[in-house]
Amino acid sequence: MTNTAPVSAPIDLSLYPETATLDDGGRLTLGGVAVADVVERFGTPLYVVDVASLRIQARRYIDAFASRHARSTVMFASKSFPAPAVIRVLAAEGCGVDVASTGELVIARAAGAQPGRMVFHGNAKTDEDISSAIDAGVGHIVIDNLDDVDRIARLATSPVPALLRVSPHIAASTHSSLSTGHDSSKFGVPSGQVNDVIARIRRESMIDLQGIHAHIGSQILDLDQFEAEVRALSMIERFPVYDFGGGLGIRYVRSDAAPSVDDYADRMVGAMHRHLGEDVDLIVEPGRSMVGRSGITAYRISTVKRGVRTHVAVDGGMGDNLEVALYGQAFEPAVLGKEGRATTVDVVGRFCESGDQLVRDAPLVDPHVGDIITVPATGAYCYTLANNYNAALRPPVVFCDDGAARVVVRRETYDDLLQRDVDHAHR
């Protein structure tokens, strides 16, 4: 059975990038470019990024922390959107880069980011990871375990600046897969072992332990939990550097409420000054809250199947947005250029999984085959987790800026799918 409900605002622009507008004809524009025109030119599915939004958010973060604590560094968590073009924009605005693998380090360096303004993470670093971080001269390697200690001691030829990742013993209010600050997490040193590990590190002449790192999770909307993180770290001996990770959440649907960057900075810096003092270096690592709102995904409707439930199927899905299947994340799609009464439908993808469902019970206005659907707040982790399920082609990334659109990551081709298959030519 299909239900209808009135909708006063088919598109909530507060979920869309900073420059998003709707003209009198209901045409959505980003960076001065009509999304419908971008779709006609580059096809679907498609990631569209508003470059001005990236710049604005980078400046917002840097200003918020620097104005409250001069010795602050904002490191973009590149895992949230590991594309050189994105990193290049954020680095140009003054952000450092958080990388968690040799691959992310290679991408960040290709973007022109300076290794000395990077931190290198990872709970299971290999010899290659440690060597690449040392050879590049990254600002800090984040030690996650005693095996990291052994590897650095064996591979380094001069003292390596390091931070120790610890568990602040906080079970963050977020999806279980996004909670990383509790003692049973695979990340960091459990709270009861921290002092022993610090003592072990100090016996190694090739490790210069400069500070402490913690990260309690992702998509966190309760600022009290960040204050609790700072208090937990204050129970450890004092260090000159503190890296509090990232984790600030964003709005995905109009009913969400998320703290502002200023509110976040107020609480983090205030807690640090109270519990750790003012004569320390502060690092934060925003990812989702840096890029999430800057991107949208555009699809075309492929089929509309009406029955017990109405399924509106698009030409993408879990191949370009795994956040729904992995974390149950809610999104708010809209049919481009339409206003009026909405039909309650399930927006599903094209992939051969019942779990390939983008939004259940979504209010869409008059969905028909060929219509363009936009999904806001997909600038974080959707590109990161894109995959080739059903041999689908991963979407391109298009930058919109100052009235122009350009491809910064091209769409995959079917030839790309065969590039690593060294055997097919011999069959």
Catalytically annotated residues: 352
Among candidate residues 92, 206, 105, 104, the one with its CA nearest the CA of residue 154: 206
DSSP letter at 137?
T
One-letter amino acid identity for 352? C
Distance CA 147, CA 234 (A): 25
Using DSSP, state whether 3 is helix, strand or coil.
Answer: strand
One-letter amino acid identity for 381?
Answer: Y
d(CA 229, CA 425): 55
396 to 52, 116, 385: CA distances (angstroms):
19, 30, 13
Q: What are the b/e assignments for 366-404, b being 16+ CB within 10 Å?
A: ebeeebbbbbbbbbbbbbeebeebeebbbbbbbbbbeee
Cβ atoms of residues 328 and 174 within 8 Å:
no
Paired tokens of 334:
């809209």
Residue pair 397/42 in contact by the 8 Å Cβ criterion = no
CB 17 within 8 A of CB 283: no
Q: What is the DSSP string of 207-250?
A: EEEEEEE---BSSB--HHHHHHHHHHHTTSPP-SEEE----B--
DSSP assignments along 359-409, one per residue: EEEEEESS--TT-EEEE-S-SSSTTTT---GGGPPPPPEEEEETTEEEEEE
Q: Give dist(CA 145, CA 124) in Å, integer.
A: 8
